[in-house]
């Protein structure tokens, strides 16, 4: 006897939950970082190619797979992919496809959360530090490293974040997750829009030669020569970003889609998720960090670099972009803004916290669903089991230097690997015609026929770029560890 599975209570709740799942730190921190480090407008060309020919088709594949699993009472990859692979394979072989994808999804989710939850915790801490003005009047770089070495404080903000996550997930899908995202997501969009309105009024706050418009120009002027000179690197960055930002290759889109009714629309809902995410990424995420950094360049770029001119300064900003940038250079900008800087900084970090939180809820729910459905552990118990798993997995991030980058390299590779499994299992083994039929079951729109070919041939080819690209550095850096640990 199947127990009655939880389902999304409202269409709006589902769409906001899916948007919350995809919209994360990737949109507001990782995206501007990738743009800045990959030639600005040079990055946007392969980015949009990857969006249309890789991101959108894989998003549909995952929605189809998720709803299909849900029909049989499954919200995790193992059993779902077993059922789908059965369309072409004998049960024994299908079983192995299920096992491998299930294990990949589990290890990926735990590894990603080992550092992702810390980043969300940092954002919570910095919301408070900004509002309280704690780093005002101090070197922001030093403040940040002091914060990181204060493990008690780091754990406190991590703990607040993860306990709230546990509460939300413990309440279930319709009564917990859906209610939380219905508050957080609209606020997130409102905060971002308020910040951008302010940015548009800024002009040149420090020096007439440096305006926010220069930042927009940097992103939106296609830079063909840079693209030509760094083709592989930029393509790799763009395809990798599409993956990360859409939350593909992890199993969490499938999990959320499994709480649909059997005839709920997946074609339109999938594209709505992509649109909400891309709006939050290229429109909102692209209009905050880079324009601000450019307008405040004279305050954050060293004078000798500034003297070499705009291109050199923008390059400097590009290289510096990244996590450190978000927690040191941007706070520097907030300090330079004067009184409003405290409010602006607090809004920015609270926005990051909401963005990260609503993605983390999806991942948390995946793991809890795994315990609940595949191992028959009660949700209320499973939630705290996962809390412990997260706690243990997160400790090395605090104590071992360089661990976070290493895990990130593993995660990036595994995401692409699992997405490859998505296409192999949920399209090829499930049979392309079944996939296409499922995609349109209950759908309000018809997906143009050529997307079937894109899904079958183009998406897997494009996927090879990050798979190959992430593999080499992964092996290289992993092999360095024995020597590194020997030093400790
Ligand atoms: N998409 C989320 C973001 O943009 C992060 C994420 C990536 C979540 C992969 C799950 C899987 O931050």
Taking only the tens of pLDDT, the chain with its 488 residues reads: 345 789 999 999 999 999 999 999 999 999 999 999 999 999 999 999 999 999 999 999 999 999 999 999 999 999 999 999 999 999 999 999 999 999 999 999 999 999 999 999 999 999 999 999 999 999 999 999 999 999 999 999 999 999 999 999 999 999 999 999 999 999 999 999 999 999 999 999 999 999 999 999 999 999 999 999 999 999 999 999 999 999 999 999 999 999 999 999 999 999 999 999 999 999 999 999 999 999 999 998 999 999 998 888 888 888 888 877 888 889 999 999 988 999 999 999 999 999 999 999 999 999 999 999 999 999 999 999 999 999 999 999 888 888 888 888 889 899 999 999 999 999 999 999 999 999 999 999 999 999 999 999 999 999 999 999 999 888 888 888 877 777 66
22 ligand 1 Cβ < 6 A = yes
Distance 245 CA to ligand 1 centre (A): 5
> Which long-range contacts does 435-442 make (Cβ < 8 Å, 24+ apart)?
435/61, 435/64, 438/64, 438/67, 438/68, 438/266, 439/60, 439/63, 439/64, 439/266, 439/267, 440/267, 441/263, 441/266, 442/262, 442/263, 442/264, 442/265, 442/266
Question: Which of 17, 18, 22 to mutate to test ligand 1, by most ligand atoms within 8 A of the CB atom?
Answer: 22
Q: Does a structural domain hold residue 208?
A: yes
CA distance 82 to 48: 33
The ipTM estimated for the assembled molecules is 0.96
For ligand 1, atom 10, name the residue with the nearest CA: 247
369 ligand 1 Cβ < 6 A = no
Query: Cβ–Cβ contacts within 10 Å for residue 178, how many?
Result: 24
Domain total of the chain: 1
Q: In the block, which residue shows the tokens 């917990």?
A: 176
Question: Which of 24, 239, 414 to mutate to test ligand 1, by most ligand atoms within 8 A of the CB atom?
Answer: 24
CA 79 to chain centre: 25
Q: Does a structural domain hold residue 6?
A: no
Name the pTM for this structure.
0.94
Question: Which atom of ligand 1 has the smallest separation from the CA of 356?
Answer: 12
Q: In which region does residue 222 sit, left (phi positive, over 0), alpha (psi from -120 to 50) or beta (all else)?
A: beta
* pLDDT for position 325: 81
285 ligand 1 Cβ < 6 A = no
* pLDDT for position 488: 60
DSSP string covering 118-146, please?
Answer: HHHHHHHHHHHHHHHTTTTTS-HHHHHHH
* pLDDT for position 402: 82
Distance 273 CA to ligand 1 centre (A): 13
CA distance 419 to 47: 18
Query: Helices 231-245 and 41-50, interaxial angle, to 10°?
Result: 60
Buried b (16+ CB within 10 A) or exposed e, 48-86: ebbbebbbbbbbbbbbbbbbbbbbeebbbbbbbbbbbbb
Tell me the CB-side half-sphere exposure of residue 403, using CA atoms within 13 A: 17
* pLDDT for position 476: 84
Distance 395 CA to ligand 1 centre (A): 21
> In a 10 Å sphere around its CB, with 0-12 CB exposed, 13-18 middle and 19+ buried, how is residue 413 labelled?
buried
* pLDDT for position 487: 66
Q: Does a structural domain hold residue 5?
A: no
For ligand 1, atom 6, name the residue with the nearest CA: 247
Nearest by Cα to 21 from 299, 204, 257: 257
Distance 355 CA to ligand 1 centre (A): 10
331 ligand 1 Cβ < 6 A = no
Question: Which of 32, 247, 353 to mutate to test ligand 1, by most ligand atoms within 8 A of the CB atom?
Answer: 247
250 ligand 1 Cβ < 6 A = yes
* pLDDT for position 485: 73
Q: Does a structural domain hold residue 38?
A: yes
* pLDDT for position 1: 37
Nearest by Cα to 335 from 129, 119, 161: 129
Q: Does a structural domain hold residue 206?
A: yes
Residue 43: give its domain's CATH number: 1.20.1740
Question: Which atom of ligand 1 has the smallest separation from the CA of 363?
Answer: 10
Tell me if 179 sits within 8 A of 167, measured CB to CB.
no
The whole domain housing 142 covers 11-487
Query: Helices 403-423 and 56-71, interaxial angle, to 10°?
Result: 70
Q: What is the DSSP letter of 5?
A: P
């Amino acid at each position: 006897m199947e127990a009655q599975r939880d389902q999304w209570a409202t269409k709006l709740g589902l769409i906001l939950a899916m948007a919350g799942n995809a919209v994360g730190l990737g949109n507001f921190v990782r995206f501007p970082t990738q743009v800045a480090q990959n030639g600005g407008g040079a990055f946007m060309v392969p980015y949009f190619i990857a969006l249309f020919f890789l991101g959108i088709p894989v998003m549909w594949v995952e929605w189809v797979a998720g709803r299909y699993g849900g029909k049989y009472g499954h919200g995790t990859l193992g059993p779902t992919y077993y059922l789908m692979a059965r369309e072409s394979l004998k049960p024994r072989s299908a079983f192995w496809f299920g096992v491998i994808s299930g294990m990949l999804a589990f290890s990926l989710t735990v590894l990603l959360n080992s550092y992702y939850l810390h980043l969300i915790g940092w954002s919570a801490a910095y919301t408070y530090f900004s509002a309280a003005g704690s780093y005002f009047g101090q070197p922001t770089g030093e403040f940040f490293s002091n914060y990181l070495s204060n493990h008690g404080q780091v754990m406190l903000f991590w703990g607040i974040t993860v306990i709230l996550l546990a509460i939300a997930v413990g309440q279930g899908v319709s009564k917990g997750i859906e209610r939380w995202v219905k508050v957080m997501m609209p606020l997130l969009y409102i905060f971002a829009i308020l910040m951008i309105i302010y940015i548009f009024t800024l002009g040149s706050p420090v020096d007439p030669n440096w305006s926010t418009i220069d930042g927009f120009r940097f992103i939106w002027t296609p830079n063909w020569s840079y693209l030509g000179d760094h083709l592989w690197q930029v393509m790799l960055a763009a395809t990798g970003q599409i993956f990360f930002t859409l939350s593909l290759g992890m199993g969490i889109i499938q999990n959320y889609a499994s709480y649909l009714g059997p005839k709920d629309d997946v074609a339109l809902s999938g594209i709505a998720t992509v649109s909400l995410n891309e709006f939050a990424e290229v429109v909102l995420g692209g209009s905050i960090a880079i324009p601000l950094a450019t307008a405040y360049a004279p305050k954050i770029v060293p004078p000798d670099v500034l003297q070499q001119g705009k291109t050199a300064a923008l390059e400097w900003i590009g290289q510096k972009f990244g996590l450190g940038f978000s927690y040191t250079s941007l706070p520097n900008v907030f300090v330079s803004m004067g009184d409003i800087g405290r409010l602006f900084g607090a809004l920015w970090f609270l926005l990051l916290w909401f963005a990260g939180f609503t993605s983390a809820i999806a991942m948390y729910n995946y793991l809890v669903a795994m315990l609940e459905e595949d191992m028959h552990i009660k949700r209320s118990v499973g939630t705290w089991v996962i809390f412990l798993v997260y706690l243990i997995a997160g400790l090395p991030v605090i104590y071992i230097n360089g661990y976070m980058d290493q895990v990130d390299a593993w995660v990036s590779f595994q995401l692409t690997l699992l997405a490859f499994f998505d296409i192999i299992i949920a399209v090829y083994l499930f049979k392309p015609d079944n996939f296409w039929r499922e995609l349109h079951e209950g759908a309000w729109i018809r997906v143009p026929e050529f997307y079937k070919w894109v899904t079958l041939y183009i998406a897997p080819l494009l996927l090879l770029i990050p798979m190959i690209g992430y593999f080499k550095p992964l092996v290289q850096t992993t092999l360095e560890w024995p020597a590194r640990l020997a030093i400790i």
